[in-house]
Each structure stands twice: as structure tokens, then as C-alpha cells.
Structure 1
Amino acid sequence: MKKTTLAILLILSGIASAQTSSLKAGLWDMKQIKQVLDGQDMSAKMAAVQEKMQESMAKMTPEQRKKMEGMMNMGAGGTIRVCISPAMAARNAPIVDREGHCAPAKVTRSGNTSTFEFNCTNNGRTSVGSGKSTVNGDTVSTSVDMTVTDAKGHHSIQSESQMTFLGADCQGIKPADQMMKEMHGTTQQK
């Protein structure tokens, strides 16, 4: 479940799209600010799920709660902790699909802001859209607007997220690119 949740967040939130020349390797705290799927604001639903999870965790023993938080890579206030590997930081280009197979068609940088466009097809799924990432010190704000087409139909997604750098030590959290490779390998084996 943890890997699936991370994959969904990486795809829908644009966190992986926040890659600019200022992205540092290490631990980042990711906060979803806005999530609209097919015109429906998912923020309330996501907040309700998060609240139920927090309620369940409040009933756990401190040891159980710590273990659950570690499994889900949760930070304060329900944020998600993500480890960016040195290879991801050095990439200096947005990643627009979870396997990293799709390079953006166009990337423009101006000061601390990167804008990008993409039109990708991978494993029968097409993603077309654009995004913008802005770096302010140790904070990266990203917005993405895309249309995803797969066997289930067309879906429009608008999202905004914010990442805050916590430090070079990932505190035992696997780098996101490694998790995606492991998840992709598991999917391939099935």
C-alpha cells in the first residue's frame, strides 16, 4: 500500500515534476495543496481519508504509531516524506511518469522557475499537459495540469504541491527512484 500511495502521489501531485537545478538530494516533505480530478476537488476526500487515518493512529500504542508512520513515510500534519537520490537531483529535468521513461517535450527555465510541457505514451497510458515549478530557498512549489488517457478513459488532473527540504539524511526512507524501480519490477513479475 505504501508504494502504491507514493506512486499515486508522484504521478498526480507533480512532486517528481519539481526537478530543477536547485533540487537537493535528501529528505523532502511533500504537501498536497490542491487536487482536482475530472473537475471534482479531491481535497476534501483526501482530508477525510487523512483524518480517519490520524484517528486510527491515535488509538495505536506509541510503538505501533511510530511503525505505521515509518511505513507510510508520513511527516507532521500528514505530509509525505520523499527521499530524492543524488541521481534524481542531478537529472535536472522534470520526471512526468512514475518510471521516468517520459522526458518532457519542452523545459524552460527563468530564474528560480521552470515550466515544462509533456506528451507521453507509456504502457498504453498517455499523459499530455504542462506544469510549473518554483524554487524559493529550500521550498519547491509545483503546479501541473494534465489529461491522462488509458483503457479506463480520459481524466483531467490539476494539482498543486509543495516540497520542503529537510536535510541530506533520508532517515532510512528509500529514494523515490529506487522505490519506483522496485514497484515496476514487482508489476512486471505479475
Structure 2
Amino acid sequence: MAGEPELRAGEGGEWVLYLQQSLNHHYRQQVTTESGEFDAALAGVVRHFQAQLGLPETGDVDTATWEALTGTRYRWPDEPVATTEVTAGGTVVRLALTLTGEVGAGGVDALADLTVDLADDPPALACTGATFIPGFPEAVADGVEYTGTCALPGAADATGYVLAITGRPDAWSSAGTVALPATTGLVEVT
């Protein structure tokens, strides 16, 4: 976001609530009560956050603190973020998922519990809190690539994906649903 106001203990309202929600999201757990009130406990959480990032530990939320909390952006790498191999019908089937677009700091865990159901046509991708919308398949040298879009936790709206499947298509359906573990991390946008 842009134009966040400076905040300090004793204040309240929607911006304080947004600060509390942002801190809880950053730490991936509830570190502060989402009350909309900037109390001493919230100031302590802000000081801890500032210390972790080498900022002055004032407990007040200034432009630098907001930028550190809400401004860091990452992009998906230029290689598959998840890969796996399964044996289906006596054939090794290799799956590779490549994503495009940017995500916030919360996107680090966006690919939790990622699976692909090869019995569906097109193969159905799923992961916790995400929606995958398949596109059209394209034949490649030794398999098929499915291109689509997805909405992932912490991701920008325009996230695209390519699921490349290598192996005989007639063997895929016998593999059913398989886990597709994430193998590559995010790259910070500078």
C-alpha cells in the first residue's frame, strides 16, 4: 500500500487494525490482538519487528517500518518451483510446475499441500487456499504442457502457471492424485 500514516501508542482505528493484521500475517501467527488499538503490547511487537530488520527500535510505525512490512516483493524463479516423478502404467511420468508473477512476503508458503490429479482432463492442481484455472494443453516433444492461471495466498492476481507433464498420456490417469512438492524458493524483486 502507499500513503500509510505514521502510528504510535495510544492511537486507534482502521490503520492500527491493518498494522495488526499485517504483523500477524508477517509472522504467520497471531502475535498481536486485532483490536484496532495501539497499546503497549503492540508497540513491543513493532519494536521486535524493527529490531529484526535493523530499523530504529522506536515502537512507532514510520515510513521505513511500513515499507519493511508491506513493501517487500518477490517473484517466482525462472525455473520450475515444484517437481516430482511417479511411475504409472510402467512408465515414469515427470511433472514440473512453473509459476509467473509477483508475490508478497506471505507468498513464501503459498504452495502448501500442492497436489495434481492426473485422472482429470486437464489435470487438476490444488493447494491450501489456492484456486487453479486451467487453460489449453500444448503438445511438446515428449509430453504436454498445460497453461493456466492461479490465485495463490499472498500472490498478485496475475499469476500464471505452466504444468509440464513428460511421459505417455495414456499412463497418467492410473497415477491418480500425486503430491507435487515445492523445490525452489522465491527471488526478491529489487
Structure with greater contact order relative to length (CA < 8 Å, sep ≥ 6): 1
Bigger proportion of residues as strand: 1
TM-score (norm 2): 0.28
Instruction: Name the one with the larger helix percent.
Output: 1
